[in-house]
Structure 1
Amino acid sequence: MNLTEKVHSLPLSPGVYLMKDSLGNIIYVGKAKRLRKRVQSYFYNNKGHSPKVVQLVRQIRDLEYRLTDTEFEAFMLECQLIKEMKPMYNRKMKNPLAYSYISVREDKGRRQFEVSYDPGPPGASLHFGPYTSRSTVERALQGIKESQRILCSSPNARGSLCLNHSLGLCLGMCGGGAALEAYDVIMDRIIALLDGRDTGILSDLEQRMAEAAERFDFEAAVKYRDYAGAVQALLQKEKVSRFTGENNSIAVLEPMAGDRIKLILIKGAQIIYRATLHSQQMDRAQLQAAVYAAILEQFAAAAAAGSAGDGAGTINRHTIDEAQIIYSYLKSSSGSYLIIPPEWLGSPPEPLLEGAVDKLVAGCLEQQEDAE
């Protein structure tokens, strides 16, 4: 079967596709909710493709695929295969592998932000990240500093006002005096923003965008839109980083076609267990008992494996990518999920767990009925 025939014969199912070159090397791994439509998009209506995608398509000579039951599993399998195989075009289409951090450092009695690839030793400074796009970090900080008028062009100067002060971009902390107190208040607000405690600065950027649009200053509106978008991306990445570090125990139930229900158990950013249940073969009490038993058994095994020191807690790019998939899935899930507090998995287990599992099963069965 040639490549064209293979593409036309692909199923309209979730899964992962692996592109190969003339030597049979896997050069790209991708995921899809509907495999055939996604793979066909590489070869048809390709005028909007980036140069890297055009170059990739020129080298494709064969492909294989792996089916999954759900789109979520396809996303997770893609991450796993990229980590294992390191295909050439997945690396080309990624940002550089180094992470970026925002550090708050003390310099001559004044706190300042610094973007770097190394946050320094633990406790050396307050820092946020890791972030996978340095350009997004720098654009977000530029917008924050500009909107809060702390974009000083002479940050190390004392006693003389910088050029940006005359342009309205610096409130004058370079001149000392009362402006330094205002500067400290602003720094506290920015730190609260990056920490997710106060999004007032983001609202300010969005307000500036709206005001610029109202006065038909579209150049300024686009600038503030881009600044706001970069800040939102930073806040999202910070949430994902915290989510990754929490090493949550998560149970997901996702209804599938027919009477099938997919049970997925996640520890941190890893799927540790999956099983297919059939709602027509089991009543609600039996489903609840099966899910409850799997939760206790599998998370106990995961805890035992973690205590052996296997390095699973290391945060790297793939861990962050996997955590992003899980986080986004939970926030917009078509299934039901339960984040299980650690104390519920003790011995004996917390009685609240049984009630929570019952609600989880009931929610999934209700979604299954609505889909019919």
Structure 2
Amino acid sequence: MATERIAKLLKKLPDRPGVYLMRDAAGEVIYVGKAKSLKKRVSSYFRHDSFASPRLRKLVQSIEDISVIRTESEVEALILEAKLIRKYSPFFNVDLKMSDRYPYIKITRELFPRIVVTRQRGKDDALYFGPYVSAGDVRSLLRLIERYFPLRICARDIDASTPEKNGRPCLHYSLGRCLGPCAGLVTPADYRERVDDVILLLQGQSSEVVERLRKRMDRAAKSLAFEEAARLRDTIRAIWRITRQRITSPLREDFDGDMWQCLNRLQQALRLPVIPWRIDGFDISHMSGRETYGVVVVFEQGSPNTSLYRRFRIKTVEGVDDFRSLEETVTRRYGQSLKGSEPLPQLVLIDGGPVQLEFARKALDELGLKDLPAVSLAKQEELIYHTPGEEPLRLDFGDSALRLLQRVRDESHRFAIESHRASRSARLRRSVLEEVPGIGRHRAAQLLGRFGSVRNMAAMSAEELATVPGIGPAMAERILSVLKENIGGTEPEKN
């Protein structure tokens, strides 16, 4: 049976795609899985009929915590699951540790790379993605690629210097499932661009693919290649449709699910060069000038992607200075992006007015990101500051563009407060123990992990504390003296 804490956690799980990580009492990841619906899949482990398998029974008995990462689609959940299994090698994913039985998707290292399914990861220069638990999942992924980003699958030798000797393209070309490199119908550079799209998709970076396609669509439209522009437009819409998050939120209910029109409206209202499919929202939180944190939340296709949220403890600013704290946060955030660890958004949203926006833009300028669109949203009158020297933009309160910006702003504010409270609580718990002579950070964490809280420890006797390896009677007395002096009461916490 699930513990009371696990039962509460199960009730909060979203009915949407994602990956779940199950941990044991030591905090080790013991199982990683993917789900079309996190709520339904994870809850199924704790049903009575799930205990028929001894292996599953042992897994469920070992679970002490469950964390989830929501994704935009089942495809991205599949990709992320494979990454996390390789990273953690969970004990109960033993089958995947013997992964030569499970399929990989391989992109060969050739002038015109092929896409191949293989059950052996060779020691060559090819790129491998996986292993994937289900061959059916691999087929679904390949159908997506075949339809929108067709690469050749044949092993035919291609002489790029004299393509006329290669003969006519095969049936796959006629069906639109290959670009026909064997017949010289595509250049190596154009083909490589398509390969890069596929690699990004297999890495789960669908938003990056959309941005690449939008740039190509704009170029095609400007050169009057309208057929190609239309094809790229349809591909973008297909990716958005496939990766669209299936969640219920006030924002989506207001827009009746038509996020495409909402983002179009936002682009129009702010005169943005492209549709802002990704928006980064920034805010600052502090407590009387202490423990200042800067945060960034990420909305993709109008919905929050919590796996991409970030927080930064401010290091270079003393006292209460939200402006310079914001400047530091923006600098550190996009300094990481420029190193390739995070993609850039199409719009930066700052919680505040023109001064906050000025400091954010200063940080962007110094990073060489002067052309990255940035706006700020002031709370009182909901004015949008967008262009230096121009009057702020005032949208109707029913405008879908304003509602989207408000939601990003409000979410960044919520996350800033939540991050500050969590960090402050953790610091307070650690610092009291670390004031005890001879108790360092590692030992403090060890004690908290065993007893749950400093209040529980303060309610114990010195003899009980002395049973912990490495804690003798004298150390136990010192610990209790410091704890009771700092936290007062000695009643243990109630679960």
- TM-score, scaled to structure 2: 0.32
Which of the two has higher C-alpha Rg? 2
- Structure with more strand by fraction: 1
TM value normalised by structure 1: 0.39
